[in-house]
Structure 1
Amino acid sequence: MRATRTSPTGVERTLGDDEMMVTKTDPRGVITYANDAFLHMSALDEADAVGQPHNVIRHPDMPRAIFKLLWDTLKDRQEVFAYVVNLASDGAHYWVLAHVTPSYDSSGRLVGYHSSRRRPDPAAVGAISSTYADLCAEEQRHSSSPAALEASWQRFQQMLGERGQTYDEFIWSLTNGDPR
């Protein structure tokens, strides 16, 4: 387990074309399962991953607004796709296209989340990186976390409005090679 936050080193790792990272969490986002690809990319041992909150791999260049969108979507019992940059325990970073779904038991009670992640197209990463840099810059203009999140969220909504797209349309335009 990381005792302190790891600093990014600038070293990038990439998933293989046929690799898929998989994790499962409980309803609070605590990792209950991690496959070998996740452990390799995150530079964590299974004992260091399982039992930790999923944000153990949060990269400082990931805007809060994207996590708000993710959690709001999951709270609405919907799946979500998102481009995410993560921070490995050794300081390397890696980009993924994440697909996160809520998991329910037979009575419809939320029991956790399942996330599968694959290698994103480099052009999509280039496009989303500038969006995320803009959102993070907006966050840094504010001294409190709630104000930073609200400002970033409003900026993100403005960006989507300027594109004339919903979030899902934006993500799929990047995924399908239209990074306008």
Structure 2
Amino acid sequence: MKRKILPNNNQKFFNDGQMIISKTDTAGKIIYCNRIFISLSGYSEEELLGKPHNIVRHPDMPKVVFELLWERLKSKKEIIAYVKNLSKDGSFYWVLAFISPSFDSKGEVVGYYSMRLKPKKEAVEKIEKLYKELLIEEQKGGKGASRKKLDDYLNTKGMSYEELVLSI
């Protein structure tokens, strides 16, 4: 039986200039992860390889963000997103994720490559506020309500999600 990880308020940090790298197959299962990812996640390499990347998904993350992420990736486009991850010990860490499809010689997607950097504290504070609002909408009315809230927010700003991410 899989143990449910209970989040706590302990935040982990990594240094400016350090990169968290992982690669997944087309189903989102981890096929490569670098040492910093292993260290921050608290899992061993063996525990990570072959597992869905959402093994580190924090429950504070609104599902609509991952919906946007997969929409972009499935249309063979890159995406940049702020993501709060959950470590094996219940602690968390924020990343600025740059995710792109990997292609074979025929232009077919064979997996995904993700490079994550340490986000600025001010950016996390801004995106965390929005994510909390999206999560409230999700809890009240499902992912559709959260998507509407996000779309309305972006429309008032006159920008896409990625433009928002790059602006903060």
Is this a same-fold pair by TM over 0.5?
Answer: yes
> Residues 37-77 of structure 1, C-alpha deviation per residue, up to 9 Å, x if partnerless?
00001001000000100000000000011001000001111
Q: 1:90 corresponds to which residue?
A: 89
Q: Tell me, in whole angstroms, the C-alpha distance in 2 between the residues paired with 1:107 and 1:161.
A: 37
Q: 2:130 corresponds to which residue?
A: 131
Q: 1:47 corresponds to which residue?
A: 46
Q: Tell me, in whole angstroms, the C-alpha distance in 2 between the residues paired with 1:87 and 1:41.
A: 9
* Stretches of 4+ aligned residues off by more than 6 angstroms: none
Q: 1:164 corresponds to which residue?
A: 158
On the 8 A contact 2:95/2:119 being kept in 1, the answer is yes
More off after superposition, 157-166 vs 109-118: 157-166
Q: Tell me, in whole angstroms, the C-alpha distance in 2 between the residues paired with 1:55 and 1:82.
A: 15
Q: 2:12 corresponds to which residue?
A: 13
What displacement does 1:101 show?
0.3
Partner amino acid for 2:144? Answer: E
* Structure 1 residues 17-166: aligned runs within 5 Å: 17-142=16-141, 148-166=142-160
Length-normalised TM-score, structure 2 = 0.97
Identity %: 40
SS at match of 2:12: coil
Length-normalised TM-score, structure 1 = 0.91
What displacement does 1:97 show?
0.1
Q: Tell me, in whole angstroms, the C-alpha distance in 2 between the residues paired with 1:69 and 1:140.
A: 18
Q: Tell me, in whole angstroms, the C-alpha distance in 1 between the residues paired with 2:109 and 2:75.
A: 11
What displacement does 1:4 show?
2.4
Partner amino acid for 1:115? Answer: S
Structure 2: 5+ residue stretches without partners: none
What displacement does 1:157 show?
0.2
